[in-house]
Amino acid sequence: MIQLKHVTKEYQIGDDVIKALDDITLDIQAGEFIAIMGVSGSGKSTLLNILGCMDRPSSGEYFLDGVSVNRLNDRELSRIRNRKVTFVFQHFALMEKYTAYENIELPLLQRRLSRSERRKTIIQAASQLGIEDQLSKLPKQMSGGQQQRAAIARALASGAEILLADEPTGALDRKTGETLMSIFHELNQQGKTIIIVTHDPMVAQYASRTIYLSDGRIDQYAV
């Protein structure tokens, strides 16, 4: 499903060139549950952004379902982000002035769906996450765990096959974080490909495979 070939990502900062990723070669199969670990600055979030088509490699190639992402234009990348790949962020990224219902609806507004079709999709996703009774609330009226569930429901409503999460439990207490990881595990069992960036060994233990980054490279010796 995902194939990176010698991917490098560099940033120009003044006169200096920072190499955030250095010769990353990686295959991820459909239905895998992957954890990406490493110290701060190791390249984890940069890798996730490239996998999610939010950024492009400086060199190397990224294939998604056999298609070279490098050759896609901005419109085609936007379509991938709306249909194939979706993000869940540490701080939920919910629109504060929108209700949970309206937040979950956001990825559906770019499609030619009727209002009733959107409503059916939203309620189904909310019910799967156990927040159907929270749909009329604003984010500030919800607990952290409920907000994160709304963010995951939004990701599910998109219908994307690949769910990317950047430190999804970082803003949650331990018990809520464990509950959230059980939800990710269940979604993976249902066929979703899940890739999570984390510092937390508790989170990584839910994954079927852990990839360790060090200075922008895959650490082949980390265990």
CB 104 within 8 A of CB 153: yes
Start-to-end CA span in the chain (Å): 25
Which domains does the chain possess?
32-52+74-218 (3.40.50.300)
Cα(86)–Cα(93) distance, integer angstroms: 12
Query: pTM of the prediction?
Result: 0.87
pLDDT of amino acid 37? 95
Q: What is the mean pLDDT of the chain?
A: 91
Q: Round to whole Å and give the CA distance between 187 and 173.
A: 21
Structure tokens at 196: 């999570």
The 10s digit of each residue's pLDDT in 79-89 is 888 788 998 88
Per residue in 140-184, pLDDT (tens digit) is 999 999 998 999 999 888 888 999 999 888 888 888 889 889 989
